[in-house]
Structure 1
């Protein structure tokens, strides 16, 4: 049977920038090799003032967390900067200390850049999927900028608006309204939020055309570092 060693909150609630789009990001640390516990065991440690938020649990064993910190993985840095304990048998995150330097920024940016590069062909083949493709723009852009922020900013920026907070490069060629539209598409598809007003593939194509050279500039900047 699984054993729960700790429950932590991270994400917008832990950062203090919670808004109407926020869910409750939870880290559940379980015994190595024994799998998950009942979700209600995790929820029992959530304070009442957060109970109305939709929970999203990430399950990890202490051994895997240790590997993540030792390897300098970006999610390890995410937890190091933000994780707030709700329950712990021992201070697992604190005991892991500071993660090793994150060295995969270029590879991670290139990976998401490749995913984005398929959007024009996908739109040509299935223009009715514009909603999905714009949601994908949000996912890729946010992950690219979280990775890039580790090298371009004082510290990694895991907020939803990390694309607008990068330093050392021109501003993202996207308005806040366009970014919020892309975010709304993703959250409507993944979390059941109300979908935005209909739009066509030309909007998505235009946004991609502006973003592609900007993202290439980010990658080249990281490569030069």
Structure 2
């Protein structure tokens, strides 16, 4: 049994110079020589578990996936229905805030792993914002730039900073060489407190809701 879905930016029509095609392969078969940079591979049981857990990835697939191939003419994800309620919002918010804190501390300590640290900051900002919308919005936002699309606490960053963070993330995940000018890093460092305040403001707001 094999099911292939396209998901993410292409499905939501958010295509830009940073976009690639996200493909999900659901199968019990042992497949050799598959390009894991191109496919996210899961077993049917694992996908079912994610839907039962109300995992953010399950919700992402629920809102933004489209079947492109089925070996048995069955839409596997559609049959699963709606994922369970997302119940780990607080712990996920704290997890991504910690990731930001650790990356910020690493950047201030030295520049040895600067691209990786910047990639982790982008991951923390994006996933924190997405989890917040999943836990608090009627319709969650699954976007690379969810953080600036929040209706209540948008994080607005200069284009130069956003580009550096996104390119660092792409470099880390796709193995693409990336360098930037010192002035860009200086600008980012001058915005770290602003970003930290954004995290804290949302955490305080979330605590007031629950």
- Structure 1 length normalisation: TM-score? 0.82
Residue 203 of structure 1: CA displacement?
3.5
Q: How does 1:67-78 map to 2 (within 5 A)?
A: 67-78=49-60
List per-residue Cα deviations over 1:114-156 (Å, max 9, x = no partner).
1111234312432343333222211110110110111343312
Instruction: Give yes or no for contact 2:37–2:174 (8 Å, CA) kept in 1.
Output: no
Cα distance in 2 for residues equivalent to 1:8 and 1:175? 34
Corresponding position of 2:162? 179
Q: CA deviation at 1:173?
A: 4.5
Once the two structures are superposed, residues 162-207 of structure 1 have per-residue CA deviations (whole angstroms, 9 ceiling, x without a partner) of 01111223x3142233112210122123324452432265434322
- Indicate whether 1:13 and 2:7 are aligned: no
Q: Give the CA deviation at 1:17.
A: 1.3
- Please, which moves more after superposition, 81-90 or 55-64? 55-64
| Native 8 Å contact 2:164 2:180 kept in 1 | no
Q: What is the CA–CA distance in structure 2 between the aligned matches of 1:8 and 1:121, rounded to whole Å?
A: 38
Cα distance change on mapping 1:66 and 1:154 into 2, 3 Å: same
Instruction: Say yes or no: does 1:215 pair with 2:209.
Output: no
1:91-170 correspondence runs (5 A) = 91-169=75-153
Separation in structure 1 between the aligned mates of residue 66 and residue 125 of structure 2, nearest angstrom:
26
CA distance in 2, matches of 1:211, 1:107: 19
Paired residues of 2:171 and 2:177 also in contact (CA < 8 A): yes
> What is the match of residue 64 of structure 1?
46
Farther-moved stretch of structure 1 (109-118 vs 130-139): 130-139
Aligned to 2:31: 37
In structure 2, relative to structure 1, the CA distance for the partners of 1:154 and 1:203 (3 Å cut) is same
Flag structure 1 segments of 5+ consecutive residues without an equivalent.
44-53
For these two proteins, the number of residue pairs brought into alignment is: 206
Contact 1:30 1:61 (C-alpha < 8 Å) held by counterparts: yes
**Residue of structure 2 in register with 1:81 after alignment:** 63
User: Which stretches of structure 1, 4 residues or more, deviate above 4 A after TM superposition?
Assistant: none
